[in-house]
Amino acid sequence: MTKTVATNKSLRAKGLVFLVLVALGALGKWGFERCEVDGPSMLPEFQPGDRVLLRRRRPRATLRPGTVVAFTDPRPHHDKLLIKRVVSIDDGEVEVLGDNPVSSTDSRTFGPVPLEDITWIVLRRYARASDVAHAR
C-alpha cells in the first residue's frame, strides 16, 4: 500500500509540474507553445489530434538528427506549422522528414530548411488524440 501511495504522489507531482509548463505555454511567457497535430505525417510517433508542447529553439542551440522540430511551412503561400524529424544538418541547412514518408510533405518536397527557420523543438505529447476525444 505504501509503495502505491508513493507512486501516486510522484505521478501527481510530475503532473503538477507539467500543468505549470502547459500554463506557461498558454501564456507564451517563457517561450512555450501548444500545438495540435494535424495529419498522419508523423505516425506512429504522433497521431492526428495529439496535443504537443513546443519550446522555442534558442538561436545557438545545437540540433541533432532525431530531434523532432516544428517550423513554418517554407513553401510559398503556406503558413501552417509543420512537425518533422531532423535527419541531417549540413552548412546551415536542415533536412527534415516525417516518420510516415507515404503521407509526409517534407524536405523531399521543399528541400532542406534553413537552420534559422527551425523555430521550435517538440518537447512531448501532453494529450493523446483518443484522450482529447473522450474529454469532449
Q: For residue range 48-104, what is the model confidence (pLDDT) as tens digits?
A: 999 999 999 987 788 999 999 999 999 988 889 999 999 999 999 999 999 999 999
101 secondary structure, DSSP code: G
- For 20-50, the pLDDT digits (tens) are 666 654 545 578 999 999 999 999 999 999 9
Closest C-alpha among 67, 62, 59 to residue 83? 67
Q: Any idea how long the chain is? A: 136
Task: Look up the pTM and report it.
Answer: 0.75
As given in the structure block, the three cell numbers for residue 45 are 510517433
Write down the pLDDT at residue 60: 79
Task: Select the more confidently predicted residue: 8 or 41.
Answer: 41
Closest C-alpha among 85, 31, 78, 82 to residue 53? 31
Closest C-alpha among 87, 70, 62, 66 to residue 122? 70
- For 94-121, the pLDDT digits (tens) are 999 999 999 999 999 999 999 999 999 9
